[in-house]
Chain A
């Protein structure tokens, strides 16, 4: 853990005292120095690559923090959007790999023998700009459609959580079933190049890390602005008392829809960046269990605190890959226990630990237990 020293940003809007105005940019700068300066210098290629993977999960956590922490929408299906982004990117990279070796079809399609022509829905992904746009637009479109249908009819709370979870289950099952065109259980593997750069070259892997770290920092800054904007206030209001917001003349459905769609876009981008960093995207990475995994990190770190959610996601991902190899059984117990303790008894996550212990002044406290979704 290289970034534990960043102080949690005060998230409630303007107490425009002088220290607060410098605290947030200061913390942001510190994070940037740690991620872009210290980590690449201090870590080996292998560990930096692992960190790149964790940072992808952290990008998802930014969206989870927005939708769940601030909006009270328990998004149990972020794997869907992560997967859509990942597959959109991987499809393009597979096609580019194939083109580089003079083939027309990606390797797995030749193996499973689906004929000589590329399926029509693969064809546009040969265009890099289209594929890049799709990594974000496709998840956002799916989220917009589901969100519109669900929120407009005031389907909320647990219903929404279950539906989003079922969506994750359906997508991963569907991908497994379409082996000839999606690689089935294996997913899209063995990705060699990234827009002309050879991914086996450690230098290019470092470049991918920098891209991911920069995207994370940018999205955190954007999310923070969203948190302190009028919209951010409205979102918290919807979380805490949806009916009151409706009586005041706002439409809570739209407020929730925006949070859900933005979170989906972030997850899509994370999935797209995950592919060059790890070299694979598969149904096992986007089903029910990984989808809940995206929520765990944010829950442990602090769902309503941006920094907490991000650090939590990184820490849980790190613990998972470090401990699960050494002690698989013990790690599963620990993971379950961590979840029970963090969500059950410290709903604000570790980010609220200081506040709980120190009893900070009320105006700086952010309530973290959102229940109405």
Chain B
């Protein structure tokens, strides 16, 4: 029982990482219908931002806190640049966007290799986050994983507030629901798209900061997470925050419990089969935006 609970906690923290990554994806995917394969490289950018900051700020705790907003800005700026240069020209061809952004991600990975070198680098975690909390019954919670969980929930909360309560959020929701109608109502959809892309990419940067706490930083770190994050978006329902939250945690727990009872590789296969089976039941994902369109 203890083992199952410990595995579940690990699963929840895997889910939190997936959630951080999927939040940005579901936002851009839902609004613009584009699949941004370079999202993984924005994660990498966030992680390297942490690494660079830690070199100039010696205190691990301070540098981590500084890194969060800085990484958001760095990754967000990269996202806006990508949107402005390429993606806005390809809105009518979503599948081609997937391939184009994959080309971009190749280039960004090589750029990271040229700047920081091919081997992985590490950052030091603040002392507080290297400890564990024991909550009794043999269950221990690692502080760094709790921190990531908190960060993920904070991001969900922040995003919900922005989407529900601000004029910007209202505009974003309008564009998601009906782009043409939003446009004729006087919303500058191009500007809203760019803002959404900024927020979505920025969240990837934040996810990158979080990942420095649990693993090494390397040029290809983004690719390891991107496919899983996309699966979260697909299962949760495109553009649905609620769906992404539930799916990320369910997939995370499923993955880690299966990993414990079988092996990592078998767990991956079983999760994929489960997803295909789930899509038989709900092909549009857990939650869907109800529209009258055929597609």
B-contacting residues of A (Cβ < 8 Å)?
A: 72, 74, 146, 149-150, 153-155, 157-159, 161-163, 165-167, 169-171, 173-178, 243, 288-289, 292, 295-296, 299, 329, 332-333, 335-340, 343-344, 347, 369, 371-373
Q: Are A292 and B102 in contact (CB under 8 A)?
A: yes
Contact of B31 with A by CB under 8 A: no
| B interface residues, tally (CB under 8 Å) | 43
B100–A344 touching, CB < 8 Å: yes
How far is B103's CA from A320's CA once the two chains are assembled, in angstroms? 15
Could you mark each residue 74-117 of chain B with 1 if its beta carbon is under 8 Å from any beta carbon of chain A, else 0?
00000000000010011011111011101111110110011000
B43 to chain A, nearest CB (A): 16
Please, which residues of chain B bring their CB within 8 A of the CB of A170?
Answer: 268-269, 272
Overall SS of chain B's interface: helix
Is B162 part of the contact surface with A, judged by Cβ < 8 Å?
no
Complexed CA–CA distance, A108 and B144 (Å): 41
Chain A residues, Cβ within 8 Å of B166 = none
Q: Is the CB of A177 within 8 A of B107?
A: no
B230 at the interface (CB under 8 A from A): yes
B244 → chain A, closest Cβ, in Å?
14
Please give the distance in Å from B124's CB to the nearest CB on chain A. 29
Instruction: Please name all residues of chain A whose beta carbon is closer than 8 Å to the beta carbon of B106 when the two chains form the complex.
Output: 332, 335-336, 339
Q: Are A149 and B109 in contact (CB under 8 A)?
A: no
Question: Which 9 residue pairs of A and B lie closest in terms of their CB atoms, listed nearest first?
Answer: A177-B265, A339-B103, A336-B107, A336-B106, A332-B110, A153-B283, A340-B103, A336-B103, A174-B265
Q: How far is the CA of A162 from the CA of B105 in the complex (A)?
A: 16
B107 and A333 form a contact (CB under 8 A): yes
- Quick check: A162 and B230 within 8 Å, CB to CB? yes
Chain A nearest CB, measured from B48 CB (Å): 17
What separation, in Å, do the CA atoms of A303 and B94 have in the docked complex? 16
Q: List A contacts of B65 (CB < 8 A).
A: none
Knowing A329-B114, A335-B103, A343-B99, the reply to whether A177 touches B276 (Cβ < 8 A) is no
Are the C-beta atoms of A338 and B103 separated by less than 8 Å?
yes
Q: Number of A-B pairs whose CB atoms are under 8 Å?
A: 128
Contact B280 A169 (CB under 8 A): no
Residue B294, interface by CB 8 Å: yes
A173, A296, A333, A344 interface centre (most CB from chain B within 10 Å):
A344
Q: What CA separation (Å) do A123 and B212 show in the bound complex? A: 46
Q: Does B279 contact A (CB under 8 A)?
A: yes
Sample (29) of A-B pairs whose CB atoms are under 8 Å apart: A74-B98, A153-B280, A153-B283, A155-B279, A157-B94, A158-B29, A158-B98, A159-B279, A162-B35, A162-B231, A163-B275, A163-B276, A165-B227, A166-B275, A174-B266, A299-B99, A332-B109, A332-B110, A335-B106, A338-B103, A339-B103, A339-B106, A340-B86, A340-B100, A343-B99, A344-B90, A369-B96, A371-B92, A371-B95
Nearest CB of A to B31, in Å:
14
With A149-B280, A343-B96 given, name 20 new contacts (CB 8 A). A149-B276, A155-B283, A158-B98, A159-B283, A162-B35, A171-B269, A173-B268, A177-B263, A292-B99, A296-B99, A332-B106, A333-B107, A335-B106, A336-B103, A336-B105, A336-B106, A336-B110, A340-B103, A343-B100, A369-B96
Tell me, in angstroms, the Cα distance from A238 to B95 when the chains sit together: 16
| Cα-based distance from A288 to B231 in the complex (angstroms) | 14
Structural contact, A166 and B86, CB atoms closer than 8 A: no
B47 at the interface (CB under 8 A from A): no
